[in-house]
């Protein structure tokens, strides 16, 4: 899966005074959780921008004073007024230990229903999955090729490899909607056919 490298520095202090000093210096306080282990460090917005402002799903390689940790972005605390990034939580990845994450879906293929004038609706953007770090993927492909007008693909139609999807199997992911124009055209065609039969 895709990775992004982030440089950080271990925090000497974690109290209010130290946190205020870190922010005043242009640094963002961060915490990385790994079971009972908690790693406190700081980084900068320029280092973190790539993982914060993207719809993509990345695995972070966090280099803290020369030691590299594999982690996932867990939570971002933002100031309610200024929208300044105040604090960031990461979850450290441990080989063989499962994690629960939200992974974006990627729509692929060409639907017959869309080619006939239907409108493709993407109803779910991400799926919640449980997986070991070794089997994590940066996106889940949803192939719309078999979809005809009025049909949909549900969670149960996805066949995961190496991970478990936690969403309800009955939830529709994508569908091909019959547009108003198509319905109107079908109605007009039916009326025309009925009229010709009467003649």
- pLDDT at position 167, please? 96
- In this prediction the pTM is 0.80
CB 113 within 8 A of CB 149: yes
**156, 182, 95: which is closest to 131 by C-alpha?**
95
- For residue 106, is pLDDT > 70? yes
Residue position matching structure tokens 């969670």? 155
Identify which has the larger pLDDT, 134 or 198: 134
Across the strands, what pairs with 108?
Answer: 143
Q: 196: which residues sit within 8 A by CB, 6+ positions away?
A: none
- For residue 192, is pLDDT > 60? no
Residue position matching structure tokens 């917005």? 45
pLDDT in tens, 70-95: 999 999 999 999 989 999 999 999 99
pLDDT in tens, 39-63: 999 999 999 999 999 989 999 999 9
CA distance 125 to 114: 19
Summary mean pLDDT of the chain: 89
């Amino acid at each position: 899966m895709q990775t992004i490298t982030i440089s950080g520095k271990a925090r000497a202090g974690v109290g209010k005074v130290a946190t205020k000093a870190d922010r005043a210096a242009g640094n963002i306080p961060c915490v990385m959780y790994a079971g009972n282990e908690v790693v406190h460090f700081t980084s900068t917005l320029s280092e973190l921008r790539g993982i914060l402002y993207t719809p993509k799903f990345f695995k972070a390689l966090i280099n803290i004073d020369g030691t590299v940790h594999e982690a996932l972005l867990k939570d971002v605390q933002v100031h309610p007024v200024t929208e300044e990034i105040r604090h960031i939580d990461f979850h450290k990845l441990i080989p063989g230990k499962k994690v629960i994450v939200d992974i974006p879906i990627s729509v692929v293929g060409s639907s017959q229903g869309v080619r006939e004038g239907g409108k493709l609706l993407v109803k779910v953007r991400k799926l919640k999955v449980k997986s070991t770090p070794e089997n994590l993927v940066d996106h889940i492909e949803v192939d719309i090729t078999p979809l005809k007008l009025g049909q949909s693909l549900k969670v149960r139609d996805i066949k995961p490899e190496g991970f478990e999807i936690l969403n309800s199997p009955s939830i529709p992911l994508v569908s091909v909607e019959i547009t108003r124009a198509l319905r109107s055209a079908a109605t007009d065609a039916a009326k025309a056919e009925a009229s010709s039969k009467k003649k």
